[in-house]
Amino acid sequence: MKSLSILSFAFSLVLSGVAADKKILLIAGNASHGPGEHEYRAGSLLFQKCLAGIPGVSVVVASNDWPKDPSVLEGADAAVMFCTGGAGHPLARDPKRVQAIEALVRKGAGFGTMHYGVEIPEHNGGQEFLRWQGGYFLTNWSVNPHWDAHFTNLPNHEITRGVKPFKIRDEWYYHMKFVDGMKGVTPILAAIPPDSTRGRPGANDPHGGNPEVQKHKGEAETVVWAYERPDGGRGFGFTGAHNHKNWGDENFRKIGLNAILWIAKVPVPQNGVECAVTPEDLERNLDPKPPRRPRQQENPAKAQPFVSPTVPGK
């Protein structure tokens, strides 16, 4: 009888719609760049604060590139990496980490990356990124300039709920390497970048000037996208967020927060994730970094003539 009572109670919970929290894992990278730039940890903790009021959601932040305790990954419904990219990407440095994310994805977990985290070597994580999130930053193909992006046409998607057209300056990467035919990819934010941001044609620069990006002058480029995987899982890429202060912009912030919920298959509120962020909030949890040195411009009038040093005995 006792067993029947327990089963009856469990069944009633299912019927009433009560379920375990969706677990979202935010993986924040180590300190990078100057003050207010690449603030991976501060940004991730801000997301955690903003998502705290969403019913049925549990957000865990793992700092220092990767969870110290591997068990933190267990049961995650979504994993988001806001971290250093390229050869320094946490996944590019350890194949066991790739395997850990692959195991989550195979169970249906969502996967997303932000800013530098979208860049990974083609043959050391790139193919996995295509499968997990539909695209990534590929050197000698993609570019990473700073520019003012004006987002005027927003698609009808859960990630754009509550978002209005806006304009903001950031290091918006573009011309991503996407899955063939962009099958399953939905551009969320796209804008026309200045042609000058495509780099100098013919330049031997892995982050600009390549022939492929030059072919699309005057065209809109996707800087945030959503991906629906063939297996039913979800992913996203968000190329902005070089400047931490941009999370203070409601529309910019909403896109990121909505995307995190979406890949975890948590219903996005009709007006998007509402979260009041103050200047004080943006100052919290910043990585300790030395202040930037002011750029010194040489004054030719005050330049001292070169004097050859004397050598003793000569």
Q: What is the DSSP string of 264-298?
A: TTPPPPTT-------HHHHHTTPPP-PPPPPPPPP
Model pLDDT, residue 297: 53
pLDDT of residue 298: 46
Q: What local confidence, expressed as pLDDT, does residue 11 receive?
A: 38
Residue 202 DSSP code: T
Alpha-carbon span 43 to 36, nearest angstrom? 10
Do 134 and 281 form a contact (C-beta atoms < 8 A)? no
Q: What is the pTM of this model?
A: 0.88
Name which of 301, 170, 139 is nearest 243 in CA terms. 170
User: What are the Cα distances from residue 213, in Å, to 179, 181, 224, 238, 273?
Assistant: 17, 17, 17, 19, 34
* Model pLDDT, residue 296: 56
In this prediction, residue 202 carries a pLDDT of 84
Instruction: List CB contacts of 218: < 8 A, sequence separation 6 or more.
Output: 192, 195
Cβ neighbours of residue 51 closer than 8 Å, sequence gap 6 or more: 24, 57, 59, 257, 260, 261, 273
CA distance 115 to 306: 45
Tens digits of per-residue pLDDT, 11-32?
A: 333 333 445 799 999 999 999 9
Confidence label for 4 from pLDDT (cuts 50, 70 and 90): very low
d(CA 279, CA 229): 37
Encoded tokens for 138:
């590929």
Nearest-CA neighbor of 194 among 161, 160, 148, 159?
148
Tell me: the pLDDT tens digits for 171-199?
999 999 999 999 999 999 999 999 999 99
Q: Which two tokens mark 147?
A: 């520019």
Query: Is the separation of the CB atoms in 93 and 38 below 8 Å?
Result: no
Q: Are 161 and 269 in contact (CB under 8 A)?
A: yes
- 38-80, pLDDT tens digit by residue? 999 999 999 999 999 899 999 999 999 999 999 999 999 999 9
Q: Which of 214, 212, 234, 213 is nearest to 225 (CA)?
A: 234
Provide the strand spans (E) within the chain: 22-28, 57-62, 78-82, 110-114, 135-136, 146-151, 166-171, 177-178, 185-191, 221-228, 234-238
Average pLDDT for the chain: 90
The CATH architecture of the domain made up of 20-287 is 3-Layer(aba) Sandwich (3.40)
Pairing of strands 135-136, 57-62: unpaired
Q: What is the mean pLDDT of residues 84-106?
A: 98
pLDDT for residue 9: 34
By CB neighbour count within 10 A (0-12 exposed, 13-18 middle, 19+ buried), where does 250 fall?
middle
Q: Is the pLDDT of residue 206 over 90?
A: yes
Q: Is the pLDDT score of 261 beyond 80?
A: yes
Which amino acid is residue 116, in one-letter code?
A: Y
Q: What is the mean pLDDT of residues 87-102?
A: 98
Instruction: Give 136-171 pLDDT, tens digit per residue.
Output: 999 999 999 999 999 999 999 999 999 999 999 999
Domain extents in the chain: 20-287
